[in-house]
Structure 1
Amino acid sequence: MLRLAVSSMFFHEYPVDEIFSSVEEAGLSGVEFWVETPHYWLRGHPLHELKAAVRAHPLLAPITLHAPVLDLNPCSINPRVAAASQQYAVEAVELAGAVGAAVVTVHPGRRTARRPPSRYDYEHFETYLARLRQAAEGIGVKVAVENMEPKVNSLLCTPEEMREVLDVNPWLWLTLDVAHAMAVSEGEVFRYIEACGDRIANVHLSVASNGRRHLSVAGNREACAFVRALENAGYCGPLTLEIEDQSFARPLSLEEKVMVLREERRYVARCLS
């Protein structure tokens, strides 16, 4: 059965336990915790606080994690940037094991220059995957790489490239970002599901429209079609709402964010009924 979750970044400015409590209040059954959630990250990412939040909210377990990505690039032409970026992702895998998370989502990186990725970039990517594989061995956490928006310097921004990487790395999984795929077309989402449906471990559910990304799904017929296609493909993992809270006409209060998630939950439930 599909579990509806939400990214903790929707509650960008709130403490960890308040985020978990709000997700539970909204009636969702999971949370994707961004390691860079400010209240957690800027205070030295205290492990005991995240563990306490997970224990206090068993209805949301197992959670998923999103590895740090802000200002990072594991395929950077700058060796120190690449090494630091890879290390942050490795530590996110280790954190996932420590808090009992089921999946950790990572970004593949990109070519630093705005040019198509080169052999050098793919060599960095292979080193990155090797480090992630080693970190994940024996801890029961799925590492899922996210499909990227179709930019000239992006890695893994087509279903074909993603399938090739998954075939070469049978331990690796996919986090399907619906809005990133929709930047090409609505049909691109279905192509990812058809090509990689057997290896999807997490779904970032939102929509794109008129150049804007990560919008609410409530009332969107295409989102309904995507959810049904995932269910028909046998997917039974988390549907993670990845909604940009700044896409609304004005800043939302905590209570309003909970109300938004309740409406998202009702809509997704209707899609599956």
Structure 2
Amino acid sequence: MKIGTGIYLEKLNQHPDFYQETYNCLEIQDFVMPSNLDENRDRIIEQYNNVLKNYQGLLTLHGPYIDLHPTSFDPLVRSVCTQRYCQTLAAAKALNAKFMVVHSDYDPAAYYDNYEDYLLEESILFWKNLIKECESFQITAVIENVHNKNPQLIKNIVDTIDSPYLAACLDTGHAHALGKSQLATWVESYEQRLQYIHLHDNHGEKDQHLPLGEGNIDFEDFFTKLKETQYNGIIICEIFESIEVQQENLKQLKTFLKKGHDR
């Protein structure tokens, strides 16, 4: 199992030794901003490669999501989404990153009939094309739940594409605050399709990105379920706090992991 954190170049430059010595996986998040795939791309990649030249852990990349809708009715919008994801794959390749995180396109405000059927059909069409790029770059894309109420849409997409280069990412905070299913249900549904986890806490109302134990997520049950399904993928801590808070969060994580194994 890989234990990592989300980082930006500014954070890494402030404490390069801490991040490289503490985590065996780093999720680069600078490219969440689409503009960084344009004028800032080469500078960001060069600086990361310089700072991390001796890093022995796994690198992953979070792709852009602002204004990107791969299932849009507008073919030009879909084209932009494909372009941005391909740019992200190229950036990941230049950084020797092995995973690309992208957001689910589910919109809870959609009000027209058969929306979920449309979303599934168009998502499958989109990924049938993009998966060829993922396979070419040998980078696995993982679809992260955001407003999804349950795991069914993402599971159906990944099952239908059925490629080793497409998997599910479970965001615990999003599932708890925005979803309607228990975390254990997501884990059970995804089974071996689950390769990636964004780990953070909240009180079930907002996406707060709190350290473990500061919200009301039942992490003991969650980690027990991970143990039952023999999860051995990536866990990214997404709390964006000071080094001291991150260290305490890691202690909590190790405690939950141990309890999950002992139960």
TM range (shorter): 0.7 to 0.9
- What is the rounded CA distance, in whole Å, between the counterparts of 2:119 and 2:153 in structure 1? 14
Q: Is the 8 A contact 2:155 2:168 kept in 1?
A: no
Counterpart position of 2:232: 236
Q: Is the 8 A contact 1:136 1:143 kept in 2?
A: yes
- What is the rounded CA distance, in whole Å, between the counterparts of 1:159 and 1:120 in structure 2? 17
Counterpart position of 1:5: 4
TM-score (norm 2): 0.81
Deviation for aligned residue 1:170: 1.0
Q: Is the 8 A contact 1:76 1:112 kept in 2?
A: no
Deviation for aligned residue 1:212: 1.4
Asked which structure has the greater RCO (Cα within 8 Å, sep 6+), the reply is 1
Q: Which letter maps to 2:151?
A: P
Residues 51-81 of structure 1, C-alpha deviations (whole Å, 9 max, x = no match): 333324x14x211111111222222233322
The correspondence of residues 110-125 of structure 1 with structure 2, limited to 5 A, is 110=106, 114-115=110-111, 117=115, 121-125=119-123
Deviation for aligned residue 1:141: 1.7
Q: Is the 8 A contact 1:111 1:121 kept in 2?
A: no
Deviation for aligned residue 1:179: 1.5
Q: Which letter maps to 1:48?
A: E
- SS of the equivalent of 1:194 reads helix
Q: Is residue 33 of structure 1 aligned with residue 28 of structure 2?
A: yes
The correspondence of residues 39-188 of structure 1 with structure 2, limited to 5 A, is 44-46=40-42, 47-56=45-54, 58-59=55-56, 61-110=57-106, 114-115=110-111, 117=115, 121-150=119-148, 157-171=149-163, 172-183=166-177, 188=182
Counterpart position of 1:271: 256
Give aligned pairs, total.
249
In structure 1, the gaps of 5 or more residues are 151-156, 246-255
Q: Is the 8 A contact 1:26 1:259 kept in 2?
A: no
- What is the rounded CA distance, in whole Å, between the counterparts of 2:180 and 2:67 in structure 1? 29
Return closer, same or farther for 1:54/1:228 CA change in 2, 3 Å cut-off: farther
The correspondence of residues 8-23 of structure 1 with structure 2, limited to 5 A, is 8=7, 15=10, 17-18=12-13, 21=16
- What is the rounded CA distance, in whole Å, between the counterparts of 2:85 and 2:34 in structure 1? 17
Q: Quick one: which of 258, 261, 264 aligns to 2:243?
A: 258
Deviation for aligned residue 1:7: 1.5
- What is the rounded CA distance, in whole Å, between the counterparts of 1:26 and 1:38 in structure 2? 29
- What is the rounded CA distance, in whole Å, between the counterparts of 2:63 and 2:14 in structure 1? 18
Q: Is the 8 A contact 2:60 2:99 kept in 1?
A: yes
Q: Which letter maps to 2:256?
A: C
Return closer, same or farther for 1:159/1:19 CA change in 2, 3 Å cut-off: farther
The Cα RMSD (Å) is 3.0
Return closer, same or farther for 1:110/1:229 CA change in 2, 3 Å cut-off: closer
Counterpart position of 2:203: 209
Deviation for aligned residue 1:19: 6.2
In structure 2, the gaps of 5 or more residues are 259-263
Residues 190-238 of structure 1, C-alpha deviations (whole Å, 9 max, x = no match): 1111111211121011123141114323325612432332233111121
Q: Which letter maps to 1:183?
A: A
